[in-house]
Amino acid sequence: MSYRIRTIEEYHEAYAHSVKEPATFWTAVADAFTWQRRWDEVLQWDFTTPDVKWFVGGSLNITENCLDRHLATHGDKTAIIWEANDADHPSKYISYRELHAQVCRMANVLKKHGVKKGDRICLYMPMVPELAISVLACARIGAIHSVVFGGFSARSLVDRITDAICSVVITSDGIRRGGKNISAKTVVDEALKDCPSVRAVLVAKCTGEEVPMQAGRDHWIEEELKVVVADCPAEPMDSEDPLFILYTSGSTGKPKGVVHTCGGYMVYAGYSFANVFQCDEEDVFWCTADIGWITGHSYIIYGPLLNGATSLMFAGIPTYPDATRFWQVIEKHKVNQFYTAPTAIRSLMAAGHDLPDRFAMPSLKLLGTVGEPINEEAWHWYHEKIGKKRCAIVDTWWQTETGGILLSGLGDMTPMKPAHAGLPLPGVQPILVDQQGNEITGEAEGYLCIKFPWPSIIRTTYGDHERCRINYFAQYPGRYFTGDGARRDKDGFFRIIGRVDDVINVSGHRIGTAEVENAINEDAAVVESAVVGYPHDIKGQGIYAFVICDGEHADENAVRASVTATVERIIGKIARPDKIQIVSGLPKTRSGKIMRRILRKIAEGETGNLGDTSTLLDPGVVEEIKAGAQ
Ligand code: WT7
């Protein structure tokens, strides 16, 4: 790719160019893609409304760039290697030509069910090729995909389907992960009792289990594919037409639908993939995320395919059948770049420090991490035991809202500093601000903001633009606020400290404390609750819930079991509290505000100084909570 940077000098040049003349910089990058109509203006932006438009007036289809464009030169190259959950299950190798045909067929199935440009389609399925194919099929015809992670409950699915008013759901009979089966179709059936907008459900056969099919509404994808052709023209999309919605948790209320648009997202997903991971022509790239998260969107599907790379898609978990599965897969498919989360690294480290010694993994060239700060111990283990000290590590910092990686090393070009995400990618202008919003320069610690748009910045939160403004653009006017605290060292390297809002990062997944509290409060035994994060050896952060239960429920263990089940039912297993402490009161100010700062300290195990408690309505409650802390 013409936009690939190959030396650190080239990086510094590109960076300087991108800041001095963003329009000419991004023009050169965007010109490496296929457009149906070239743009009239590179960028229009205003961070107050906010209103950001990239490649204004341009027209394109991202699937032409992911698929059609590669057919003439490397149609037979493997686009997707699929590794099943069970190690003895055969892998699949899907060439660009086959993927193109399957995407066209699936797109025609959607059309047959009346799906049109702009319609929202919900995807709730396991990590099977049909998921990637369905995502691309939506994009082919301009339908907006909204992928919901398979670990979410029926209630969470209802919220997401309703918010986006989806007309079709694509799912599977079941989901096999590790040694367990989850009945995806049953969850969808349960959810659809409350989703009148959905007229059709398309079901992929994955586990082969019996599932009820509702006549007129539910259809087997296998059967549908037989009656359509393998040719489907790519819908012309305006640069600023939405490509997808992806829900993510914030500090308040229900998850919000982050909207990314076609042109800017394409350019940045392609550009960032090529430069961070530095894949060569024959390389195999493996990102272990689930496509239900942004990492899977940008670096399993779009980024690799835009660059004509080979992307490995894995349906299993790191510890099944045992804690060497990742290393087996790396050797089996000769993976060159491996991208995973610190939580996975820590859990595999805990499963046996020396287990990877049996695997030489000579194909590996580069390692990556994403999702949460990586502690130095895990960084060194990853570097020594997996990378055998040969491979550089890129610590990639970004967010659902940023669409692509913003801070990271580029391949092995940038000097590595353990636990530092490093330098901004070209086009990215991060700054640190103090509480008042004043920019602080040099070596400093502060709130991480970005002061200039990059092509894949969030455009809106679906159906509620004001929420987008308040969440990201209002705190520090004129800046995009990330919600993270960070430190910058003398070399300009960034180290992410963590969230500064009421969002917890559990195993690299974002969970809003308010969301968990609302779920807990639905439990019949609960009067009130407060949820905070605390340091957790494997997960990074764990969920600590302080719960006041009503007088009749004296059995604490029964309350805990009930609260856990309620959270699972309402949000899903991923939001299950790690610790539940029953308390008789919560530390509140005279105006009724819960002082989370105090609860956070107690959850962290701090027993001494809790700071100023003089504004509390009832300081006595703190002593009680401290005494009962887990
Ligand atoms: C939050 C975004 C897009 C990546 C997957 C998570 C944290 C992400 C890092 C990193 C330290 C990180 C931040 C960020 N985070 N990457 N390399 N080092 N923290 O996406 O669910 O939108 O969460 O994850 O706190 O704000 P997400």
Q: DSSP of 166-230, one letter per residue?
A: -SEEEEES-EEETTEEE-HHHHHHHHHTT-TT--EEEEE-SS-------TTTEEEHHHHHHTS-S
Of ligand 1's atoms, which has the minimum distance to the CA of residue 508? 6
Does ligand 1 lie within 6 Å of residue 483's CB atom? yes
Q: What is the pLDDT of residue 609?
A: 76
Pocket test for ligand 1, best of 345, 496, 504 (most atoms within 8 A of CB): 496
Protein residue whose Cα sits closest to atom 18 of ligand 1 = 373
Dist. CA 370 → ligand 1 center (Å): 7
What is the pLDDT, as a whole number, of residue 552?
72
Closest residue (by CA) to atom 8 of ligand 1? 371
Mutate to test the pocket of ligand 1, among 248, 395, 482, 510 (most ligand atoms within 8 A of CB): 510
Q: Please report the atom of ligand 1 found closest to the CA of residue 373.
A: 11
Residues 6 or more apart whose CB falls under 8 angstroms from that of 467 comprise: 256, 461
Task: Give yes or no for residue 421 CB within 6 A of ligand 1.
Answer: yes
Cβ of 420 less than 6 Å from ligand 1: no
Ligand 1 pocket, 496 CB below 6 A?
Answer: yes
Contact 599, 546 (CB under 8 A): yes
Please tell me the predicted confidence (pLDDT) of residue 560: 95
Please tell me the residue having the least CA distance from ligand 1 atom 10.
397
Unique residue bearing structure tokens 């399957």: 102
Asked if residue 415 has a cis previous peptide bond (ω within 30° of 0), the answer is no
Mean pLDDT per 10-residue segment, the chain (630 residues): 93 98 98 98 98 98 98 97 97 98 98 98 98 99 98 97 98 94 95 98 96 98 97 98 96 91 98 98 98 98 98 98 98 98 97 97 98 96 98 98 98 94 96 97 97 98 97 97 97 95 93 95 95 96 95 84 97 96 92 90 86 80 89
Predicted pLDDT of residue 630: 85
Nearest residue (by CA) to ligand 1, atom 24, is 371
How big is the chain, counted in residues?
Answer: 630
Provide the pLDDT for residue 620. 85
Q: Is the CB of 393 under 6 A from ligand 1?
A: no
CA-nearest residue for atom 3, ligand 1, is 399
Verify whether ligand 1 is closer than 6 Å to residue 370 (CB atom). yes
Please measure the distance between the N-terminal and C-terminal CA atoms of the chain and give it in whole angstroms.
54
Residue to mutate (ligand 1; options 299, 398, 417; most atoms within 8 A of CB): 398
Looking up tokens 């006595």 gives 620
> Of the candidates 582, 575, 601, 451, which has an alpha carbon nearest to the alpha carbon of residue 503?
575
In order of 96, 98, 238, 326, 355, the CA distances from 352 in angstroms are 38, 40, 51, 14, 5
**Nearest alpha-carbon partner for 141 in 2, 236, 217, 72:** 236
Q: Under 8 Å CB-to-CB from 352, ≥6 apart: which residues? A: 323
Question: Is the shortest distance between the CB of 408 and ligand 1 below 6 Å?
Answer: no
Closest C-alpha to ligand 1, atom 12: 372
Strand 78-83 to 218-220 pairing: unpaired
Ligand 1 in reach of 399 Cβ (< 6 A): yes
All residues at 6 or more sequence positions from 529 whose CB lies less than 8 Å from its CB, including other chains: 517, 520, 521, 545, 546, 547, 548
Contacts of 327 (CB under 8 A, 6+ apart): 355, 356, 358, 359, 361, 386
Residue nearest to atom 1 of ligand 1 (CA): 399
Is 510 close to ligand 1, i.e. is its CB under 6 Å away? yes
The answer to whether the CB of 542 falls within 8 A of the CB of 506 is: yes
Contacts of 193 (CB under 8 A, 6+ apart): none
Q: Write the burial class of residue 55 (CB in 10 Å: 0-12 exposed, 13-18 middle, 19+ buried).
A: buried
Residues forming beta bridges with residue 366, ordered by sequence position: 337, 392
Question: CA-CA distances (angstroms) from residue 161 to 154, 194, 257, 388, 574?
Answer: 10, 10, 11, 45, 19
Residue 437 burial (C-beta neighbours within 10 Å; 0-12, 13-18, 19+) = middle
Atom from ligand 1 closest to the CA of residue 395: 17
CA distance 275 to 306: 13
Using a 6 Å cutoff on CB, does residue 479 contact ligand 1?
no
Instruction: With beta carbons less than 8 A apart as the criterion, state whether 251 and 502 touch.
Output: yes
Nearest CA to ligand 1 atom 17: 397
Determine if ligand 1 sits within 6 Å of the CB of residue 449.
no
Whether residue 372 has its Cβ less than 6 Å from ligand 1: yes
Residue of minimum CA distance from atom 27 in ligand 1: 399
Domains and CATH numbers, the chain: 8-317+396-486 (3.40.50.12780), 507-628 (3.30.300.30)
Amino acid 612: pLDDT: 77
Beta strands 526-536; 200-204: pairing state: unpaired
User: Could you tell me where the DSSP H helices lie in 356-434?
Assistant: 376-381
The CB of 482 under 6 Å from ligand 1? The reply is yes
Distance 427 CA to ligand 1 centre (A): 19
Cα(399) to ligand 1 centroid in Å equals 5
User: What is the rounded distance in angstroms from the CA atom of residue 137 to the CA atom of residue 126?
Assistant: 17
> Which residues have CB under 8 Å from 393's CB, separation 6+?
366, 367, 368, 369, 379, 382, 383, 387, 409, 416
Residue 244: closest CA among 370, 63, 39 = 63
For residue 516, report the distance from its CA to the centre of ligand 1, in Å. Answer: 19
Tokens found for residue 47? 């961070």
309 contacts 71 by C-beta, under 8 angstroms: no
Residue 505 near ligand 1, beta carbon < 6 Å? yes
In whole angstroms, give the CA distance from residue 570 to residue 266.
Answer: 34
For ligand 1, atom 6, the nearest C-alpha belongs to 371
